Amino acid sequence: MSVKKQTRASENADPHELHNPVPRVLLGVIAALVVWAVYYIFASSPNSLPALGDQRDPSVLAASAEGDNQAIDGRQIFTAACQACHQATGQGVPGVFPPLAGSEWVTGDPDVLARIVLHGMTGPITVSGSTYNGAMPAFGTQFDDAELAALLTFIRGEWGNGGSPVDADMVGATRKATQAQTQPWAGEDALRMQAAPASSG
């Protein structure tokens, strides 16, 4: 028994593929993609760790981890340790707590600034033309060099202050140079007298 295929004239014709070329625009896009992909492979650096997903290599990351203070938030340290007296605005409290905003001590010689924060101070100090005579606590034991560097960098750049950043090595050098200092500095005269010979101010 065999099945005979029958076609009748009234039946629709068998579908057949039309001769429709792929649109040129689409071909162009595909070609561009291929060219870009090949370019991308050759242009990306094979040395970098794929997990990093960018052009940084491990040595750069290691240097930034120990070198600067990106990981430490100077503003956060300020809020926790300084703001109660010097205020969030950096304006201090007139006659009681001197301002950090616009203070020549903050934007001036970073070595002197580090001395103040490392060891604290008591006695007269003139800030922006007003004299204060209070007690500034020491923070040298509470924060390490990198934390203090981040903090000082923050107050030197905040509130319109135009001081340069401070790095941990600089704080470390001041800490070492003043390690004999066990009491807060006795007023601005003591600070000035003790200023490191290497620094200009």
Give the residues lining the site for ligand HEC (CB under 6 A).
81-82, 84-86, 97-100, 103, 105-106, 113, 116-117, 121-123, 125, 127, 132-137, 139, 151, 155
**Shorter beta-carbon distance to ligand HEC: residue 20 or 141:** 141
Q: Which residues contact 18 (CB under 8 A, 6 or more apart)?
A: none
Q: Which residues contact 6 (CB under 8 A, 6 or more apart)?
A: none
| In the complex, minimum distance from the CB of residue 65 to ligand HEC, in angstroms, rounded to a whole number | 24
**Shorter beta-carbon distance to ligand HEC: residue 78 or 177:** 78
Q: 161 near 106, Cβ under 8 Å?
A: yes
**Shorter beta-carbon distance to ligand HEC: residue 28 or 124:** 124
**Shorter beta-carbon distance to ligand HEC: residue 48 or 144:** 144
Q: Two tokens at 190?
A: 């003591």
Q: 171 near 188, Cβ under 8 Å?
A: no
Look up residue 26 and give its amino acid: L
